[in-house]
Structure 1
Amino acid sequence: MISTKWAKLIKSLQLKKYRKAEQQFIVEGEKAVLEVLASGWQVPAVFATERFLQQHAAAIQPAQLVQVCGSDELVKVGTFNSNDAALAVVAMPQWPAFHAKSEQWTLVLDNINDPGNLGTIIRIADWYGIRHILCSPDTADCYNPKVIAAAKGSFLRVQLHYLPLAEQLTNSKLPVYGAYLGGENVHQLQLSRHGGFIVLGNEANGISAELSQCISRKITIPAYGDAESLNVGIAAAIICDNLKRLTASR
C-alpha cells in the first residue's frame, strides 16, 4: 500500500515547481522502471505490484525503498491510465556543464513547449547517438511525466542542458544549422566539417528572432506535397538522419 506521505509526494512531483524543490521525478511502467533501476541512477523508492516484484526481485535491489501496492493505487497516484507494474521516484542527476566538441552533433531546442514533442526528440537523439540537447529556459521541463513517457528510456542516455542559447551559440566556433521552411535542401548539403549545432524552433513560431542571428546556415526539408508543415519531432528525425548519412559518407 502507498502511504499518504508518499502518495502526496508522487502527486506533487507531477508539477515542475515541486520537482525542482525536491530534485526528484517519477518514472512509470514496467520497462521504464526496470531501465532506471539498471542505470545506476539513485532511486529513493519503487512502488510495484506483487507480480512485478516477484518477476524482478533482483532488479529492484538498487531501490532504497520497495513497497507492494495494487495497480489501482499506481493509477490513482500516477499519470498513466493503466499501470499494472511499477512506479519509481527517481533523483535528478547532476550533469556537468556542457562543452561542445568538434566531432559532435548537438540539438538545440528554442522554446519547444509540447512535452510529447520533447520526449520524442530525446528518443530521436538517442537513436542517432546524439548525447547532448541544449534547451532554452522556456522549453518544456525534461522531467515532466509526459516527457519521460514519450522518451521511453532515452532520458537516461541523453543529457539536457537548460541555458541561454544565444550566448552559447555566439561563443562557439562550430557551425549552427537552423531548421526553416526555406533554406538549403537537407538532402543535398555539403558539409565542410563533422559536427555542429542543429537548431529547432517553436512548434508554432519557429526559431526566435534573437536566435536567428546566431544561425550560420539555414536548412530545410523539401516538401513534395501540400502539407503546411511537419511536426518538430518528425523534422528532427529527418534532419538528424540526413546529417548522419552525409557525415558517414565522407
Structure 2
Amino acid sequence: MTKAQIKFFQALSRQKYRKEYNAYLVEGYKNAKEWLQADCRISHIAASATWIADNRALIAAHPEATLIAAEDFELEKISALQTAQEVVLVVESPAQDTILPATGAWSLLLEKVQDPGNMGTIIRTADWFGISTIICSPDCVEVYNPKVVQATMGSLLRVRILEMELQDFLAQNQAPLYAACLSGEDIRNVQQPEPGIIAMGNESRGLSAGLLEAASHKITIPSRGRAESLNVSVATGIICAALTLQS
C-alpha cells in the first residue's frame, strides 16, 4: 500500500472524514462478503494475498473498486477495530433517506443512543424481526462508525436509517407510538398491538419527557431481580419480540 492509501483508510475511522469523502469502512471476512454481494458501490478493497486468491469471484463483481494487496502490518495500520481483519472495504455512503415508514408496519425510533455496540446490535435486531426502518435523533451515534458497522453483521444493508429531529418526524407520522420506560404498562398485557413505532431512549437517561408525552402507549419489561435497568439493545430485542410477533 502507498502512504497516501494508508492515510486515506485511516482518515475514514473519523466521522469528519467519512462525511467529507462520503464513504465508510467495512472490515472482516463475513461483513466484506455481505457488502460485496450487495447492491452498493465499493471504491477500494484492501486485503491479504490469501483473501484475494480465495475471493476472486466476489472481487470480479466490483470492477469499480481499486484492489490493493496489503501486508499484515498495513492491515493493522488501516483497521479502525481493536483486532485487524484480513480485508477492509471502502464503501460509498448511500444518499440520505427521507422516505417515512409505511403505515401498518413496525419501525424503531431511537433517541440519543450513543454506544456503537448498542446501535449495531439494535440494527441487527431490527433486521431479525423484519423491521425495515429506524429513525434516529441527530445525537445518536453515527451508523457508519466502524464499530456500529461491525456489530450490524450486514444488517445495515437491509435496514433504512432516517436521521431527523424526532419531533419533526412525529408531527408527520400518526402511527401508534410505543415508548419504553420504567413506569409503563407491563408489555405482557399489550395484546394484538397495532403496528407502529417502538421508541427506545438513551442508555442512562431513557426517553425525554417530550417523547413520553407524545406516546400513545407507555410500556415496560417487568423485572424479577434487582438490576436497576436493562441494556438498551437487550430491551429493544425483548420489546420487538413481544410486540411484532403478535402481528
What range is the shorter-chain TM-score in?
A: over 0.9
Match of 1:145 in 2: 146
Q: Tell me if the contact between 1:47 and 1:67 (Cα under 8 Å) persists in the aligned partners.
A: yes
Runs of 4+ in 1 over 6 A off after TM superposition: none
Question: Where does the alignment leave 5 or more consecutive residues of structure 2 unmatched?
Answer: none
> Relative to structure 2, which stretch is displaced further, 20-29 or 2-11?
2-11
5 Å matches for 1:93-108?
93-108=94-109
Shift of residue 184 of structure 1?
1.3
- 2:204 aligned residue: 204
What's the counterpart of residue 29 of structure 1?
28
| Structure 1 unaligned blocks of 5 or more | none
Q: Which amino acid aligns with 1:22?
A: Y
The sequence identity of aligned pairs, in percent, is: 37
Distance in 1, matches of 2:154 and 2:72, equals 21
Q: Show CA shifts across 1:74-96 (max 9, x none).
A: 11111233335200000001254
Which residue of structure 2 aligns with residue 242 of structure 1? 242
Residue type at the aligned position of 1:32 = N
Q: Tell me how far apart the structure 2 counterparts of residues 192 and 13 of structure 1 sit (CA, whole Å).
A: 42
Aligned partners of 2:206 and 2:176: how far apart in 1? 19
1:1-250 counterparts in 2 under 5 A? 2-61=1-60, 62=62, 63-191=64-192, 193=194, 195-247=195-247
Task: Quote the RMSD (CA, aligned, Å).
Answer: 1.3
Q: Secondary structure at the match of 1:179?
A: strand
Deviation track 1:174-217 (CA, whole Å, cap 9, x = no partner) reads: 10000001111112202452x10000000111101222222111
TM-score (norm 1): 0.94
Matched AA of 1:59: L
Distance in 2, Cα, partners of 1:81 & 1:212 = 38
Judge conservation of contact 1:75–1:81 (CA < 8 Å) in 2. Answer: no
- TM-score computed with the length of structure 2 as normaliser: 0.95
Give the letter aligned to residue 81 of structure 1: Q
